[in-house]
Structure 1
């Protein structure tokens, strides 16, 4: 009897959707039991939120500090979990041969990527609840219409950064993955427009930031949660990164 999928027909493999869902559950449970992952997922974004709320970095931008900070920190959650967290975990799974054994299963590259996206989204739900609750206590008042708009945008950001993280983890050595994803987190968070709006940078720097996936996601979240609107240019940029990253990860990901 199939104990994992008890209602699956005897002698027949589980469907692709069931395989992906099972992989997503496994990935999510592993992620949530990892202390380092929890620090990256919860503690670091919370520290960033509080720091931006109590310092004058965001003063003079027409909104309260917490209203400007929270959309960027929510976007940072997607970056932390999808890009850095999944990138590092996958890189070391690849090093220790876990992915090599998985390559012998019917899951395939597409199924593996889809399962990791599910795990990231599950973790992201927890992050959003924690960050939003703390931000509300600090006085965050989002645009009501923008809340419903912000949810799919955050999901799109998580998909984009998962694909980029897996692209790195599946093509370079684990030590390089560790360095690249950590450095990427720092650069995206500090200079990539995900936490600080592009307007806080010089004109030339802002022009570069607008084309980055981090800048596009940060702009989208602030436009949605502060103004209740969709930034068309930013959504096109983020969609382009999502498609390019997903295609590249599926094509070039190496199991070992």
Structure 2
């Protein structure tokens, strides 16, 4: 196909558009994909139920009910970091695993991988969407926690941010591994089941110390490290170095496994 010649008004020269030059800059493509994915997540009723509504119910229930023993300390100060961890897992792992699994089955991943966006741009857009939705979750749940009497340590905000970012990275890598290796229906069942199990005994809402002998195992899981890390930072303002190392190890392992076994079409 011959190049298209376009004359720019007011210019003595003509600009030759070869087709490839029409693609938007990389950053603009990634931002557009981020906006699309974030909007899709926020418009999806099931996603909103999982990422916002259920964590809000869990937070309110834990703050106002004494049925579940959260350990020593003010209940709201223990409950809010755990629910923030739960919300991050909902978006980074469960939501991403399910949406990516069904996009893969529909052939959308293969299609977008052949566009100027490319596979790396698609992944970057998905990560950006996770960051946007996670930020909204944290602001909303944090505001509700403050209304319920939560008093976070200001010194712990920076380490909490690092823990949250590393925890999200770990769970995104695991979620993509699940979505890229199993059938979409299996991903849907497994992701929801894992979410329930982590809520009940993954060290997220209940600290590993409250889980008896199981806690010795749970504290080495990414869920236990994320929950404990946020509790340590937001309650005491300390840097949870062990939890950060655990999350970093899971991130590296999950990313390596995803790169090795992820399949772009089913």
Output the TM-score relative to the length of structure 2.
0.87
Of 224, 230, 244, the residue aligned with 2:233 is 224
1:24 matched to 2:24: no
Question: Counterpart of 2:253?
Answer: 244
Q: Which residue of 1 aligns with 2:153?
A: 143
User: Is contact 2:85–2:226 with CA below 8 Å preserved after alignment?
Assistant: yes
Task: Identify which range, 171-180 or 57-66, moves more after superposition.
Answer: 57-66
1:100 and 2:131 aligned = no
Deviations for 1:17-47, whole angstroms, at most 9, x for unmatched residues? 4433222121111111111111111101001
Task: State the number of aligned residues.
Answer: 248
Q: Which runs of 5+ in 1 are unaligned?
A: 2-8
What per-residue deviation string (whole Å, max 9, x for no partner) do you get for residues 36-69 of structure 1?
Answer: 1111111010011011112225547331110000
Q: Say whether 1:120 aligns with 2:119.
A: no
Pairing of 1:87-236 with structure 2 (within 5 A): 87-203=97-213, 205-236=214-245
Aligned equivalents of 1:190 and 1:181: distance in 2? Answer: 14
Shift of 1:106: 4.3
Correspondence for 1:6: none
Indicate conservation of the 8 Å contact 1:58/1:65, yes or no.
no
Hey, what does 1:84 align to over in structure 2?
94
TM-score normalised according to structure 1 size: 0.91
Unaligned runs of 5+ in 2: 5-15
Structure with higher Rg: it is 2
Does the aligned pair in 2 maintain the 1:150–1:225 contact within 8 Å?
yes
* Distance change in 2, residues 1:112/1:44 (3 Å): same
Distance in 1 between residues matched to 2:96 and 2:228, nearest whole Å: 23
Q: Which of 51, 55, 63 in structure 1 is aligned with 2:61? A: 51
C-alpha distance in structure 2 between counterparts of 1:22 and 1:157, whole Å:
25
Task: Give, in angstroms, the shift of residue 15 of structure 1.
Answer: 4.5
Distance 1:115 1:252 in 2: 21
| 8 A Cα contact 1:109 1:253, kept in partner | no
Tell me, in whole angstroms, the C-alpha distance in 2 between the residues paired with 1:192 and 1:106: 40
